[in-house]
Structure 1
Amino acid sequence: MRLKNLLRFVVLLSVGIHMQARAAWLDSEWHNFRVYPRLQRSYDLYKAGDYAGALVLLQQAEKIDPNKRDARILHAQTCEKLHDIACLRQLGEDWERRFQRDPLGYYIVGYVKKLGNDDNQAIEQFRSAIEHVGLHPDSRTKAGRELIDALFRLKRYQEAQATIAWLQQQKVFIADADSQRWNRQLVAAAAGAEVSKAAKVAKVAPEEVVAPINISKQKTVSSKEIVPPPDSQFPYRELSEAMRTQRIIADFYHLTAAQHYSDLEGEVAVLRRENLFTPAIQEALALNLENKNCPLLLQEIAVDADIRETTEHSQMAAAYCASAQPERSAQHFHAASSVRAQAGLQPLAQTLRSEGDAWYASQQLDKAMQSWDASLQQQENPELARNLVDLAIQHPELPSSVVIVTRYRHFLPPGQLALTQAYAAQHRGDNVAAEANFRTSLAESPKWQVWYELANLMRSTGNSSAQGEALSEALKLNDEQSLLHAEYAYWLKSNGQSAAALLHFQRAVELDSQRTELIPEIALLEMKLGQSKAAIRDFRASIDQSKNIQSRNSVSGEAAENQLYAWQRAVQTLEDRWSISAGTQVRLNQGPIVPDGVGISPSQYAQFGGAVDFEAAYRLDPLWDAEHPSWLFARASQGLENRSFEFMSGNTLAGIGFRQRLLADENVLGSVEWLYRNGSDTPSDVMLRLSGSHSFGTDWRPTGTQWTSFNVYGDIARLLREKSYYLTLSAELGRQQRLAWLDGKSTFMPYVGSALAINNDNFSNTAVSRVDAVMGIALQSWHGADPWRAPDVRQRLSLEVRQRIGGNSLDHTIVLLQWRIFH
């Protein structure tokens, strides 16, 4: 029994670990999906020189995934381009604090210390960056270079020599240029030590040392233009070439250390005059000036690819100094490689890459790509190869692109080449090529993100069926993405598949509770499918979270108010199954005396005389959907004497019927009614009626100071015993004016209209007809609203004048006072 329980515990534990691992993997994939487009776009902006734009996207990416190392590296490079030292410092210290074993933080902090001229701290940080595992080889090389240079600046020569050996033990790549430069500096330092020792023996007074010169206030003049005095004596004439070169190098070192740049220019001018300015001396000059006076270095070191006139290291030093002039920098890098080739050596991969970076910065893309290609021929760099082939795909018009794509496509993961080509085609507006490449990428490596991109493309081209297919395939690969469920739900809804759309909307909210903008969609579909209780619940939830929903949908102002009111009206409509209306109409002027042989029809009393009426209706479950509701109703009408509220004897109408909404504002009614009246051969009769109406603008509006109201009504009826008919058509057009000074919701509406009435319900079956022009004014008020419901009671009080303009009715002018309440 114990063994069985132990086995059960082990199984449950393994399942739990598996589920946790899967959840962690899904979370990582989701972060990668959200970070990827921002990071890619920030790379593009960085390459284009839009560092501020790149910084915004990088900050968004880091909020999504603070542990994204690539984003942090590019963030640091961007801050460097913006010369934002505070940004670099914060990045490095934060990374160093959070990931103490990651060398990236130490490297960034070291770079900040270097920029702040704090060489002691920079040395410690760069040393820590190299000691920890994981730093990119190029960054390790740069950290080693900065470490040694800082030691030289502090004149810690013995420690620098030991550290160079330590870098070799740490397998840090040291470029030939750096190695030779450091060796020369060590030689110069040793020579300087000898000179100092000799000076002590000669007891040179300290006062003889010239004070440093502020070079920022000097006018820069090339040493070629400096004419030395006629009586100048060349001080190295009697020395051998080897001793002369060593002495000149030592002098260069001391002059630069003391910042005596005008003396240095004079000495260089003498050397040029004496034809002794050799490549080795030029190199010593360049290496001494590289970290101290770049303007003077660039003045003295021209772009030169002749091994008889210059050296690789001179051109490299000039290239680094010309970083603010990217085209000249690229030319110096190219010259350095050419000089190396003349010496029978292969160009250095790092030099070629730096040349490519400089060409790129000078916006000469094809030259940059050629240089990067040459760098990759010397040293494999998968990251550079991927970036290069991606750039070549985006710029097929460049001469080097075809060769590069062919050569480096194997560095891309399956499907990546076709995917990049799809994005490039999409950017060009070639949707056909984009679709083909998306499908090729999916054939090589099916990914839900690519299916989603294809779905978006199909939506933009109007191919709805292909869009739905792509979304369905994406969901097969990843059923845990709220985004996919929501997009597929919208597609299903637009294609009339309401039940399926509802399930996917609900699943999307289940996966991501922050997607509150989907709740109104769910409520609308529930209402359409007859799920009234669920629809009421979700409409109320939409009202409660309306500000958040409208913020996510970027809905504001009048559109937001109207949307909120629509949800409130939906709640009121779904909750109230009973509706009641009652009203009265009083004729204010006396009607004509009707001669024998012409009857007074109930239709005439309802339209042109006094009457009281009442109707109650019950909403049934919809025959089709909630947008087309159905009602059963019962109604009654009683005629009134003119200019009074006295019931007219024998003029009563009562019946039951069915009402159906056909469209948004169209209703059709069918009813059976019983008629009771005096003065007829059939005091009681059965009437069959069919009515219809269309209206808009009759409801309250939460926005706007005025709006148009329009209503059209038609009615046809047949008396079964008398075999007579009634026909009525009427239209009303008004302009509702909001009355802000009244409590509640009220409008004042002047209106005009027209009416046609015909019937033959009289002793002689004569057709009695009239056409009226109608004018009136109405005061309307709405009542009963709360935070979750729209008003459910409306009152209308109107004064109306009807003037006969056609027909044979004896009644010419009619003045009516009307009142009605609706619920």
Structure 2
Amino acid sequence: MKRQLPARCALALLVMASVWPWCAESQNSNGDSSRYQNFMLYPHRQAGYAALRAGDEHAAIAEFTKARQLAPQSVDTALDLAEAYRHFGHPERAQAVLNEQLHYTPKDARLHAALSAPAAPAVDCSRDNRPVCRAKRGFADLQAGDVAKAETELSAPDFARSPEGLTLRHALVQRAIYLGDDQRAETQLAELDAQGQTSVDERHQWFTLMLNLGKFDAARQLQSRGGLDAPEQDLAMALAISSHGDRKLLASYMASRQPVFTSEKDERQWVNLLAMAAREQPALLDHYTARYPANATWQAQLSLSLAMARGDHAVARNMLARLPAERFREERFDLDMEQGGYAEARSQAEALIAQPEGYRLLDPLSYRLLEAGATFEAKQLLLDAYPFAGNPHSAALFSRVAVLAGQQPALFSPDDHARLRRPLESMPLRIQQLHILGALRDCEGIRQVMADLSPDYPAESWRQLGDCYGKERPGLAEYAYAEAGKRSFDSETTRALAYQAYSTQDYETALQAWRSVPAAHMQPADLIAAATTALTIHETAVARSWLDTYAAQGGKKDGNYWWLRAQADEPHDPALARNDLENAVALQPDARYYARLAALQSQAGDSQQALISLQHASALAPDDSKLAASLGYAYLQAGAPDKAVVQFERAHQADPENAGLTRQLLYVHQKLGDTAQARWYATQAIDQFDAASEPSTDGTDGNASDQDDQRFALRRLHEDLGRKWSFNADMSLGDTVSSAANTAAPGVSYRSYAQLEAQYRLLSGADTNTLAAYARLFAGSDGSSAVWPVHAVMLGVGLHWKPLISQNIVLSVEQQTPASNNRDTHNDTMLRASGSWSFGPKLTDDWHASGWGWFTQNFYVDLAHYLRSKQSVLTLDYRFGLQDKLVQGQTIEPYVHLQYTGIDRSQGLSYTRDARVGLGVQWNLWFGETRYDAYPHRFSVAIEDQHAFTSYLRERNAVFLILRTQW
């Protein structure tokens, strides 16, 4: 349905409506032409009359012949053609036309008058004045065109009133009307009226002739004389005026007439003519009261159309009220639209669509609603018909819904979304459905429709699916973009794939996508993204190429550009990368730039500048724990642990779950001598290990084993940091005298030996205690026969000092005092230097948390000098064993023991030595552990067989039972 027709189109249709009924009228039985024929004949007859007046024989006869062909049984056309033949001197041809007409209208008076008019009496009437002769001469004069001479014949009183005179007078009237001599015709008519010598039929014939000739004023004057005021004459006059095309005259005439028709057909024509006149005077049609119901309905229809055309909504409403409610829904729709009644218009549209074949109207009706701004009504109308099955305009309707969804998504309710999400039956329909869901940005709907992931979906649909998955399901989003790229090789799709692949960390795919986009099609932001992708997977050459293109295109060389350029340049030219980063921080200070610059400066050996850069970075990102930690390490490297601990604390506050930071704080506080704080961080580190994983018990898992070892090391450190007192006791019982006991009392050899030591830490350093006070009691067996070491008891009191952090070297000074009366004991002062090395943490003799066991190794060096006795003793001791775990905290240890002892008794004048090897087996027990402390106590029992290769003693072989404990 189109929009409302222009007024001139509506009126043209009304003209056709008013003319069409003529076509249905058959020719009258008396040979008169129908009204429709008169309408068709009029131009030819008019042209014939004009040619007749002008004396143009050929044109006059041709026009009247055409009129005769259109109405071959009409008396009017016969008389016209016969008159033309007679006028131009062809009486025999005129006679033939009239004789032919006798077959159709044998009783027509005008035909008989015409037939008798040219007939000459048998007598010579040249001088005879009888009526018949006067009539003959008068008709002869008419044929010769001498009207004045013919009128002279009528001057005779006796002739004018005779039947022959009346016939001639009537012929003169008709002749005057034909020739357009209105004044002469009026004069003749006045005389006839005055004499009462005209009949109604004759007046009607002349009235009709005037109408045919367009003599409307003359016809109205003739009608005013009476006798021609029947509804049929009113209708004829109106029809004639309408055929002339003078609507103003038609309106004026019809306004003056109020005919009451006895024929429904005539009234219908009058209504049609009113419709034509309504353009000048609309009220003529609007206020007319039809007699017949069908005509009343027809009048309402015509008035409705005209009122709609001219925008007279009040009249249109009034006319619609007269018509059945189920009819003229299009007009009702138009009127509702004009007046803004969109809800009512939608109701009319729904009724129109419900009619047979009405679905075809959905397209224009919804378009009209949208164009008028009735978006809600248009949406409801469209969704009521969704998915437009069988509608030839379904594609346009889908597009219309999509456009509406894109412009006003808020119009669509949750129920609308639910309906639009249900997948349609066929692939073409689902593709159209996806356009709507895409316009609505309804990702849930798009995912539901494309749940089958059919390969038949076009690139656009895959693009929509990719947009919808986005960050929520990045892997599927990348898949969707890849599928879109397979179907459409456009740069936009490839660009979307590249960005999505990067977000899913599929850098290889992202790089491949960027490489397939021509550089000319890449925006500056794309070039930066492509370079970033390449750098992520260390394709620095590719990244430099894109950065060069970016610069060539005039891209902004901001801090980010120089940051990327530095990463691209660093592998082949670190100095250039450093220069790039200096450009970056100069343009745009950024913590990342400073941090990387610091790394390059540190690599170049410029630690001071690296520290300054890290200070800038940390100031820009005070909450960045990694930067704070890096700055802490830099301060450590610069020898400022007090500043380092501040940074580590700041980093730890930002990231308290970072186990590395916790342990670093542990070590830094230990280095600063803050044992309490170091022990607190050790506790935190152990908690973090416990939260991360359970310790391994079988050692089969390498990572778990490492964690167990680290956890044990932390527990050992926690235990050691909390220790102030230490107690050691050891005893060896031998079967003979040996130098094995001389490590405690050089120069004195015993069969058995025992020692008890108590130690108190005064100061603690970064690795272990650095200064400790101690006291010990030691004794041996008395003579070779004694077994128990209870003789020659000595008390030693002194200090241990550990001067180096990285080496286990201890310097001691000890004052020794006899605790019993024995000739072999005396007061003395011992100066001592000792060192112990295991050559790796895995070879220590402390408990190992992981594994089935471990190898142990220890190399001990001891040099002691006694001031009073002036003796010096050198001890070299190497031990290698295998600790085999029995159960948790217990091992059995077979071992090899090598020992060398050298004693200088008289300042180089007397030197004795003892070198021996021992084989033994030892049972070890560790105990007393807690959640945070490793085993603080250890008890060992060993049996060792020794053989001396060289010795200052008499016995070369010995067997010992050795007991040791640490508390």
Give the counterpart letter for 1:482 in structure 2: S
Q: Cα RMSD over matched residues?
A: 5.1
Which residue number in structure 2 is paired with residue 609 of structure 1?
Answer: 751
> Does 2:582 correspond to 1:439?
yes
1:416 has 2:597 as partner: no
CA contact (8 A) 1:659 1:667 kept: yes
Task: Report the Cα distance in structure 2 between the residues aligned to 1:160 and 1:750, rounded to whole angstroms.
Answer: 89
Structure with higher Rg: it is 2
Partner letter of residue 704 of structure 1?
Answer: G
1:660, CA displacement in angstroms? 2.2
Write out aligned runs for 1:439-458 (5 A): 439-456=582-599
Q: Deviations over 1:719-757 (max 9, x none)?
A: 55544x14131313222322324xx51222222233333
Question: 1:510 maps to what in 2?
Answer: 653
Q: CA deviation at 1:458?
A: 5.1
| 1:734 aligned residue | 880
- Which residue pairs with 1:561 in the alignment? 708
> Which SS does the other structure have where 1:545 is aligned?
helix
2:762 matched residue in structure 1: 620
**Residue-pair matches, total:** 492
**TM-score after normalising by structure 1:** 0.51
The question of 1:492 aligning with 2:635 is answered yes
The residue aligned with 1:589 is: 736
- String of CA shifts for 1:578-627, please: whole Å, max 9, x gaps: 111122222223789xxxxxxx99946865521222111111113x5454
State the partner residue of 1:806. Answer: 950
Alpha-carbon deviation of 1:362?
13
Q: Is the 8 A contact 1:386 1:408 kept in 2?
A: no
Distance 1:683 1:401, change over 3 A: closer
Q: Secondary structure at the match of 1:588?
A: strand
CA distance in 2 between counterparts of 1:400 and 1:510 reads 41
User: What is the rounded CA distance, in whole Å, between the counterparts of 1:788 and 1:168 in structure 2?
Assistant: 65
2:899 aligned to 755, 780, 791, which one? 755
Per-residue deviation, 1:358: 12
Cα distance in 1 for residues equivalent to 2:810 and 2:860 = 10
Q: What does 1:363-402 correspond to in 2, within 5 Å?
A: 368-369=517-518, 371-372=520-521, 384-388=523-527, 391=530
Displacement of 1:409 in angstroms is 1.0
Segment drifting more, 750-759 vs 793-802: 750-759
Q: Kindly state the Cα deviation for residue 507 of structure 1 after the two structures are TM-superposed.
A: 0.9
- 1:776 & 1:370 partners in 2: Cα distance? 78
2:298 matched residue in structure 1: none
Q: Any idea what the Cα deviations from partners look like across 1:506-531, whole Å, max 9, x if unmatched?
A: 11122233434422221221122111
**How far does residue 164 in structure 1 lie from its aligned partner after superposition?**
10
1:453-476 CA-partner distances (Å, limit 9, x unpaired)? 434555677765554333211112
- The answer (yes or no) to whether the contact 1:712–1:732 under 8 Å persists in 2 is yes
Residues 589-738 of structure 1: matches in 2 within 5 Å?
A: 589=736, 603=745, 608-622=750-764, 625-641=766-782, 642=784, 644-646=786-788, 651-661=792-802, 662=804, 663-675=806-818, 684-696=826-838, 697-723=844-870, 725-738=871-884
Alignment partner, residue 448 of structure 2: none
Describe the SS at the equivalent of 2:678: helix
CA distances 1:395-440 after superposition (whole Å, capped 9, x unpaired): 7799998565333414x7x3232223223334x6543333222221
Q: 1:787 aligns with which of 912, 931, 955?
A: 931
Q: Which amino acid aligns with 1:735?
A: G
- Find the counterpart in structure 2 of residue 776 from structure 1: 920
Quote how far apart the aligned CAs of 1:676 are: 7.1
**Partners of 1:660 and 1:440 in 2: CA distance:** 53
Deviation at 1:645, TM superposition (A): 4.4
1:703 aligned counterpart, secondary structure: coil
**1:265-304 to 2 correspondences below 5 Å:** none
Paired residue type of 1:470: S
CA deviation vs aligned residue, 1:470-502 (integer Å, no higher than 9, x gap): 321111222222232122223333444322221
Change (3 A) 1:793 1:400: closer
Tell whether the 8 Å contact from 2:530 to 2:546 is kept in structure 1 after alignment: no
Q: Is residue 717–residue 727 contact of structure 1 (8 Å, CA) maintained in 2?
A: yes
Unaligned residue ranges in structure 1 (runs of 5+): 1-119, 133-148, 171-214, 217-256, 258-293, 298-322, 334-351, 374-383, 593-599
The offset of 1:789, in angstroms, is 0.5
Matched with 2:307 is: none
Distance of aligned partners of 1:583 and 1:363 in 2 relative to their CA distance in 1, 3 Å threshold: closer
Q: Describe the SS at the equivalent of 2:629.
A: helix
Q: Is the 8 A contact 2:531 2:564 kept in 1?
A: no
Distance 1:156 1:631, change over 3 A: same
Please list, as runs of the form range in 1=range in 2, the aligned pairs for 1:32-431 lying within 5 A after superposition: 155-156=393-394, 368-369=517-518, 371-372=520-521, 384-388=523-527, 391=530, 405-410=551-556, 414-426=558-570, 429-431=572-574
1:262-316 CA distances to partner (integer Å, 9 max, x unpaired)?
A: xxxxxxxxxxxxxxxxxxxxxxxxxxxxxxxx99x9xxxxxxxxxxxxxxxxxxx
- Letter in structure 1 aligned against 2:708: E
Q: Does structure 1 retain, via aligned residues, the 8 Å contact 2:761–2:769?
A: no
**Is 2:808–2:836's contact at 8 Å kept on the other side of the alignment?**
yes
Deviations 1:59-98, CA, capped at 9 Å, x for gaps: xxxxxxxxxxxxxxxxxxxxxxxxxxxxxxxxxxxxxxxx
Q: What is the rounded CA distance, in whole Å, between the counterparts of 1:453 and 1:605 in structure 2?
A: 63
Q: Verify the 8 A CA contact 1:707 1:736 in the aligned structure 2.
A: yes
Show CA shifts across 1:347-384 (max 9, x none): xxxxx8689999999979788435526xxxxxxxxxx3
Q: 1:474 aligns with which of 612, 617, 629?
A: 617
**Whole-angstrom distance in 1 between the partners of 2:836 and 2:622:** 46
Query: 1-side partners of 2:760 and 2:926: how far apart?
Result: 21
Preserved CA contact (<8 Å) 2:832 2:863: yes
Q: Which of residues 524, 529, 535 in structure 1 aligns to 2:667? A: 524
Change in CA separation of 1:402 and 1:740 when aligned onto 2, cut-off 3 Å: closer
Q: Is the 8 A contact 1:700 1:745 kept in 2?
A: yes
The 3 A distance-change label for structure 1 pair 160 and 437 is same
Q: Could you report, residue by residue, the CA deviation over 1:650-684 in whole angstroms, capped at 9, with x for unpaired residues?
A: x232221111233443333321213578785x863
Following superposition, the deviation at residue 802 of structure 1 comes to 2.6
C-alpha distance 695-798 of structure 1, shift in aligned 2 (>3 A): farther
Separation in 1, partners of 2:827, 2:732: 24
1:550 Cα deviation after fit: 7.4
C-alpha contact 1:353 1:372 (8 A) present in aligned 2: no
Query: How many angstroms apart in 1 are the aligned matches of 2:552 and 2:703?
Result: 52
Change in CA separation of 1:563 and 1:463 when aligned onto 2, cut-off 3 Å: farther
Report the identity percentage.
18
Conserved? CA contact 1:326–1:362, under 8 Å: no
Change (3 A) 1:487 1:690: same
CA contact (8 A) 2:828 2:867 kept: yes
- Tell me if structure 2 keeps the 8 A contact 1:779–1:797: yes
* Higher mean C-alpha deviation, range 464-473 or range 445-454: 464-473
**What displacement does 1:547 show?**
3.8
The CA deviation at 1:152 is 12
Q: Matched residues in 2 for 1:465 and 1:459: separation? A: 8
